[in-house]
Amino acid sequence: MSGYTLPSREEDPVHTVRTIARIAQMLIELRDEYVHRPRADILQQIDQRLDDLLAQRDELKHRMAHASRSEE
């Protein structure tokens, strides 16, 4: 595939899943950076990304509920 993705509805959980993956990748990169050079500001960034993940979990639950109603 050449980077093209099929269009999806705005409420489709795939948008949230992609955001979760991006945040997870950021956490991996921050982990690597912290292991290489431990600094308090990196820990703060990790903490922020974890908060972002919690928000995305709530968003995913909302979208899953909306998706299941749409399938009925």
pLDDT at residue 67 greater than cutoff 90: no
SS3 letters across the chain: CCCCCCCCCCCCHHHHHHHHHHHHHHHHHHHHHHHHCCCHHHHHHHHHHHHHHHHHHHHHHHHHHHHHHHHC
Distance between CA atoms of 30 and 37, rounded to whole angstroms?
Answer: 10
Give the per-residue pLDDT at 3: 59
Which stretch of 1-10, 33-42, 49-58 has the lowest confidence by average pLDDT? 1-10
Model confidence, pTM: 0.78
Q: Note whether 60 and 20 are within 8 A (CB).
A: yes
